A and B are shown apart, each in its own frame.
Chain A
Amino acid sequence: MLFNSPVFVFLFLPVAWLGYLVALRLPIARSGIAFLGLASIFFYGWWNPAFLPLLGVSIVFNYWMGRLLGSPRAAKRWLVAAIVANLALIAYFKYANLLSSSIGAVTGFATPVFDVLLPIGISFYTFTQIAYLVDTYQARRAEKSFSAYVLFVTFFPHLVAGPVLHHSEMMPQFLRDQRRIPTALILEGLLLFACGLAKKVLIADSVAPGVNRAFTLAELHTLGWADSWFGALGYAVQIYFDFSGYSDMAIGLGLMFGIRLPLNFNSPYQSGSIVEFWRRWHMTLSRFLRDYLYIPLGGNRHGPTRRQVNLMLTMLLGGLWHGAAWTFVFWGGLHGFYLQVNHAWRVVLAKTPALQSLVERFPKTTHTLSWTITFLAVVVAWVVFRAESFTGFAHMLQGMFLDAQSIDAAVADPQTAYYIGIGLLIAFLAPNSQQLLTGIGERLVAAGRASLRPFYQGAHVGAILTVIASLTVISLSWGINEFIYFNF
């Protein structure tokens, strides 16, 4: 069930929300948690009920391991065993064929092809639970309530494509004694959901067909300069509006149920450096990689060389996390390289007073320059991220930078180019949805004379629902496109 589908917007969401309100008022302990957990499992099972047993086994295993690791005398080997088990699960379902084909390519032997269907959201729920196990081991305190744990893993707004959650930031919210959801949160949630849906339906989906066409043709031959840049910039716009739109919708849904999910995007294309970009793009994954990979590897505690190695390793694995293809690993490596260059530049800058004073003298020019370099570096990396093969990547790069002779495929249609332009302008200049909408619920609730507030509140909800319904019908006219990150 996709967030932009009519079945979700017009059926699942109203039923789940009203059911949750009723469950909160029942005189049964944690009835709200139980209802929301069941609703989330139903939501997940809608895709393919065959994936439910795997999710169930994963949850029961990790809950049980968490109880074991929460004991003061828990041995570290149990933590290692639990992490290995989780990684083995994801390795089989996601990476078995990549591993097999790579071994075959290197050795020349005929290697088996596994008939494995990737369970949706496996990367997200596995990593969420690995983080939980590590936190539990470090704090020596496990989650006692099984129903709350189930909800923590399966809570439908984040289940299939994040944000990647920390146990510590979610459980207090699930377990607090909540009898009703504040109207301000509901309004803010609805607005964020509408904003995310608009990003997805009006920008990302409008750009997607042209981008798909460019990358499909790039697999066959080199594209011309305009078509290549059209594809590359188009994908930069598509993935940002698609994924940040999804994240807005997830956060908005959480708020409708009285739960605040962590921020996942903070205008990443406005970043002045790659280091800054990673603090603003898919923030919860960056946090996860930092806390559970980079720092355990030693972080920056063992000198600059080891730090560079740790950084590169983290980015390579971060790339691999996105999908079972070497292009994703290359993408991670490319960003690892960018980060190394960024850190090296900082060292050079700190050691060169003349350069430093130049930067201070022309702050706007240097910022524009660094922003341009950062964005171009990100766009080039997106090309390999999106390409179906290294051949496609090479064809696109050739077209972008060498202006190769190519078939004029007329990919760059003016309509799509217009949306790419609009998308880039918004991404570069506009405040993001969180900046615009955080706290707006409270302002709307307090608006108007006290006696007319119920009318106003109803009017706000009615207006937002009309917009959401309209956007859903527009989404239906596209054929309801999946979110890009649902594939990871």
Chain B
Amino acid sequence: MSSSTSISERQRAAAWLTGAAAAGLALSIAFEALLQLLPAGSDLHRENPQSQASSARLLRNYQYTFSMGWDLRYVVHGRTNSMGFISPHEYRSDAQSIALLGDSFAEGEMLSYEDSLAGHLDALSKGRVQTYNFGLSGASLPHYLGMAREMGPRFPFKAAVVIVGQGDYVEGFESKEGQYRWGGAGEDDVVLVPAETRSLLKQALRRSALLGYLRGNLKFVAGRLFQHPGEPKCEPVRLRDADLQRLSHYVDALPRALGVEPRRIVMLFNGNTRDVYEHVDRARAGAVPGKTCETRDSLAREQLRSLARARGIHVVEVLPLLESHYRVYRRPLDFRPVDPHWNGLATSIVAAEVARRLASKAPGYF
């Protein structure tokens, strides 16, 4: 009797678990089907590398859709060219061009081409020069140099714009597939980490709208699921000799790699747009400014600034530029709270400043 009861209990439990799993699966399939119909996330991915020496490229000649947030706001459609960079234009070696290097702020996946930095620069030059966007999301300083070495010999650039963001120096030590990292002892100054070849399963999973939604719209990273929020520690740091040498070499190597004089390069030092709002909106009498904490990265970027200025490279501080506009017009400059990247207004402000700087040094283009 007890044996039959226990079997029955076991059967009930099995039926219960089967029901739970079936419902979870059915709902997931329903979400997937729904999201396939909606402009969810980013379906734009890196392509498999052509060779071991290939740096990362997006899928070539690909029409993509991008949106942000759980509710799929700010939908944009864009395309990549035959080189695997976000641009409606093919890059030609016989055209007048400007190189644009940087991370996602340069890449501009979240903006229509007209609203991106490259698009605004194109518009400002009125067709006299075209901006070749080599931006890659997640890239850092060594990758910009690596890309400059790849593209410099192929295109006779008239000028160049490099966006330097927070974390760009220290992230350069990380090994990210398809990207250049800082070289260690006995290595070149920058070293390409081989791009990953996706298995068939991974390629199939990349077609899942649900996974794209999780990654793209919700910015879900499993590792951050149980992170305990805490104040970052502010410890005294200083740059080592190796850091100083690396940066000094960088400002010499970058113009050489691009084949562009330093005075025709604009280095945009970007920060967190949130600070613009904080400075202006919270700038009331008696408000105490937030504590800033110096890091190896912030010191390195500071060093890069002064070295670049010394070499004649234009240094543009993006936040004060945006702040002066925000102080007057109070218009949002990013997609906060769903995304901290520049919106079309911010890129237009930055592009105008770049054009102003280059107008005197590269006459006839702006």
- Contact stretch, chosen from B102-110, B142-150, B163-171, B328-336: B328-336
- Contact stretch, chosen from A67-75, A133-141, A321-329, A454-462: A454-462
Residues of the B chain whose Cβ atoms lie less than 8 Å from the Cβ of A478: 337
- Tell whether A407 is near chain B: CB-to-CB under 8 Å: yes
Alpha-carbon distance between A6 and B284 when the two chains are bound, in angstroms: 36
A410 near B332 (CB under 8 angstroms)?
Answer: yes
| Least Cβ–Cβ distance between A115 and chain B, in angstroms | 15
Residues of the A chain whose Cβ atoms lie less than 8 Å from the Cβ of B28: 466
A7 near B218 (CB under 8 angstroms)?
Answer: no
- Tell whether B15 is near chain A: CB-to-CB under 8 Å: yes
A6 near B70 (CB under 8 angstroms)?
Answer: no
Interface residues of B (CB under 8 A from A): 11-13, 15-24, 26-28, 31, 69-71, 73, 214, 217-220, 224-226, 228, 281-282, 284, 329-332, 336-338
Q: Contacts A415-B73, A467-B27, A476-B220 hold; do A462 and B22 have CB atoms under 8 A apart?
A: yes
Alpha-carbon distance between A11 and B226 when the two chains are bound, in angstroms: 9
| Least Cβ–Cβ distance between B317 and chain A, in angstroms | 24
Residues of the B chain whose Cβ atoms lie less than 8 Å from the Cβ of A473: 214, 218, 220
Alpha-carbon distance between A461 and B16 when the two chains are bound, in angstroms: 9
Residues of the A chain whose Cβ atoms lie less than 8 Å from the Cβ of B11: 454
User: Pick the contact of A462 from B12, B15, B20, B331 — CB < 8 Å?
Assistant: B20
B20 near A217 (CB under 8 angstroms)?
Answer: no
- Tell whether A143 is near chain B: CB-to-CB under 8 Å: no
Q: Contacts A217-B281, A462-B21 hold; do A476 and B225 have CB atoms under 8 A apart?
A: yes
Interface residues of A (CB under 8 A from B): 6-7, 10-11, 201-202, 206, 209, 213, 216-217, 219-220, 407-410, 413, 415, 452, 454-463, 465-467, 470, 473-474, 476-479
B284 near A220 (CB under 8 angstroms)?
Answer: yes
Residues of the B chain whose Cβ atoms lie less than 8 Å from the Cβ of A459: 19-20, 22-23
A410 near B330 (CB under 8 angstroms)?
Answer: yes
A466 near B23 (CB under 8 angstroms)?
Answer: yes
Those 3 A-B pairs whose CB atoms lie nearest each other, nearest first: A458-B19, A462-B20, A462-B23
Residues of the A chain whose Cβ atoms lie less than 8 Å from the Cβ of B19: 454-462
A458 near B281 (CB under 8 angstroms)?
Answer: no
Q: Contacts A415-B73, A473-B218 hold; do A209 and B281 have CB atoms under 8 A apart?
A: no
Alpha-carbon distance between A467 and B71 when the two chains are bound, in angstroms: 15
User: Pick the contact of B330 from A407, A452, A474 — CB < 8 Å?
Assistant: A407
Residues of the A chain whose Cβ atoms lie less than 8 Å from the Cβ of B70: 201-202, 474, 477
| Closest chain A residue to B68, Cβ basis | A477
B16 near A458 (CB under 8 angstroms)?
Answer: yes
Residues of the B chain whose Cβ atoms lie less than 8 Å from the Cβ of A463: 23-24, 26-27
Alpha-carbon distance between A410 and B326 when the two chains are bound, in angstroms: 11
Q: Contacts A477-B70, A479-B337 hold; do A458 and B23 have CB atoms under 8 A apart?
A: yes
| Least Cβ–Cβ distance between A169 and chain B, in angstroms | 32
Alpha-carbon distance between A7 and B224 when the two chains are bound, in angstroms: 11
Alpha-carbon distance between A457 and B15 when the two chains are bound, in angstroms: 9
| Least Cβ–Cβ distance between B337 and chain A, in angstroms | 4
User: Pick the contact of A477 from B12, B18, B219 — CB < 8 Å?
Assistant: B219
Residues of the A chain whose Cβ atoms lie less than 8 Å from the Cβ of B338: 477
Alpha-carbon distance between A452 and B337 when the two chains are bound, in angstroms: 46
B226 near A7 (CB under 8 angstroms)?
Answer: yes
Alpha-carbon distance between A410 and B17 when the two chains are bound, in angstroms: 51
Alpha-carbon distance between A462 and B15 when the two chains are bound, in angstroms: 12
Alpha-carbon distance between A413 and B71 when the two chains are bound, in angstroms: 15
User: Pick the contact of B20 from A410, A461, A476 — CB < 8 Å?
Assistant: A461
B218 near A462 (CB under 8 angstroms)?
Answer: no
What are 6 contact pairs spanning A and B, CB under 8 A? A217-B330, A407-B329, A452-B15, A456-B19, A458-B19, A459-B19
B218 near A458 (CB under 8 angstroms)?
Answer: no
Residues of the B chain whose Cβ atoms lie less than 8 Å from the Cβ of A460: 19, 23
A462 near B337 (CB under 8 angstroms)?
Answer: no
Q: Contacts A415-B73, A454-B15, A455-B19 hold; do A466 and B24 have CB atoms under 8 A apart?
A: yes
Other A-B contacts than A459-B20, A459-B22, A467-B27, 10 sampled, CB-CB below 8 A, are A6-B225, A219-B284, A408-B329, A454-B15, A455-B18, A458-B20, A458-B21, A463-B27, A476-B218, A476-B224
A455 near B330 (CB under 8 angstroms)?
Answer: no
Residues of the A chain whose Cβ atoms lie less than 8 Å from the Cβ of B331: 409-410
Alpha-carbon distance between A161 and B28 when the two chains are bound, in angstroms: 33
| Closest chain A residue to B228, Cβ basis | A7
Residues of the B chain whose Cβ atoms lie less than 8 Å from the Cβ of A213: 281
Alpha-carbon distance between A474 and B217 when the two chains are bound, in angstroms: 9
User: Pick the contact of B15 from A209, A219, A458 — CB < 8 Å?
Assistant: A458
| Least Cβ–Cβ distance between B166 and chain A, in angstroms | 18
| Least Cβ–Cβ distance between B96 and chain A, in angstroms | 37
B282 near A216 (CB under 8 angstroms)?
Answer: yes
Alpha-carbon distance between A202 and B69 when the two chains are bound, in angstroms: 11
Residues of the B chain whose Cβ atoms lie less than 8 Å from the Cβ of A462: 19-24, 27
Alpha-carbon distance between A69 and B103 when the two chains are bound, in angstroms: 68
| Closest chain B residue to A415, Cβ basis | B73
Residues of the A chain whose Cβ atoms lie less than 8 Å from the Cβ of B17: 458
B226 near A454 (CB under 8 angstroms)?
Answer: no
Alpha-carbon distance between A481 and B225 when the two chains are bound, in angstroms: 15
Residues of the A chain whose Cβ atoms lie less than 8 Å from the Cβ of B13: 454
Alpha-carbon distance between A283 and B336 when the two chains are bound, in angstroms: 35
Residues of the A chain whose Cβ atoms lie less than 8 Å from the Cβ of B217: 477
Alpha-carbon distance between A136 and B281 when the two chains are bound, in angstroms: 51
Alpha-carbon distance between A213 and B13 when the two chains are bound, in angstroms: 51
Q: Contacts A407-B330, A410-B330, A466-B24 hold; do A477 and B218 have CB atoms under 8 A apart?
A: yes
Q: Contacts A454-B19, A458-B20 hold; do A474 and B218 have CB atoms under 8 A apart?
A: yes
| Least Cβ–Cβ distance between B221 and chain A, in angstroms | 9
A458 near B226 (CB under 8 angstroms)?
Answer: no
| Least Cβ–Cβ distance between B9 and chain A, in angstroms | 10
| Closest chain B residue to A481, Cβ basis | B337
Q: Contacts A455-B15, A455-B19 hold; do A477 and B284 have CB atoms under 8 A apart?
A: no
Alpha-carbon distance between A413 and B331 when the two chains are bound, in angstroms: 11
Alpha-carbon distance between A467 and B19 when the two chains are bound, in angstroms: 15
Alpha-carbon distance between A455 and B17 when the two chains are bound, in angstroms: 7
B18 near A458 (CB under 8 angstroms)?
Answer: yes
User: Pick the contact of B225 from A10, A219, A413, A458 — CB < 8 Å?
Assistant: A10
| Least Cβ–Cβ distance between A416 and chain B, in angstroms | 10
Q: Max chain B CB contacts within 10 Å: which of A11, A408, A470?
A: A470
| Closest chain A residue to B20, Cβ basis | A462
A209 near B337 (CB under 8 angstroms)?
Answer: yes
| Closest chain B residue to A474, Cβ basis | B70
Residues of the A chain whose Cβ atoms lie less than 8 Å from the Cβ of B21: 458, 462
Residues of the B chain whose Cβ atoms lie less than 8 Å from the Cβ of A219: 284
Residues of the B chain whose Cβ atoms lie less than 8 Å from the Cβ of A6: 225-226
| Least Cβ–Cβ distance between A226 and chain B, in angstroms | 14
| Least Cβ–Cβ distance between A194 and chain B, in angstroms | 12
Residues of the A chain whose Cβ atoms lie less than 8 Å from the Cβ of B214: 473
Residues of the B chain whose Cβ atoms lie less than 8 Å from the Cβ of A220: 281, 284
Alpha-carbon distance between A202 and B336 when the two chains are bound, in angstroms: 16
Alpha-carbon distance between A477 and B73 when the two chains are bound, in angstroms: 14
Alpha-carbon distance between A479 and B214 when the two chains are bound, in angstroms: 15
| Closest chain B residue to A418, Cβ basis | B71
| Least Cβ–Cβ distance between B68 and chain A, in angstroms | 10
Residues of the B chain whose Cβ atoms lie less than 8 Å from the Cβ of A467: 27
Alpha-carbon distance between A219 and B220 when the two chains are bound, in angstroms: 35
Residues of the A chain whose Cβ atoms lie less than 8 Å from the Cβ of B73: 415
B16 near A477 (CB under 8 angstroms)?
Answer: no
Alpha-carbon distance between A201 and B337 when the two chains are bound, in angstroms: 13
Residues of the A chain whose Cβ atoms lie less than 8 Å from the Cβ of B15: 452, 454-455, 458
Residues of the B chain whose Cβ atoms lie less than 8 Å from the Cβ of A457: 16, 19
User: Pick the contact of A465 from B20, B225, B284, B332 — CB < 8 Å?
Assistant: B20
Alpha-carbon distance between A478 and B331 when the two chains are bound, in angstroms: 21
Residues of the A chain whose Cβ atoms lie less than 8 Å from the Cβ of B330: 217, 407-410
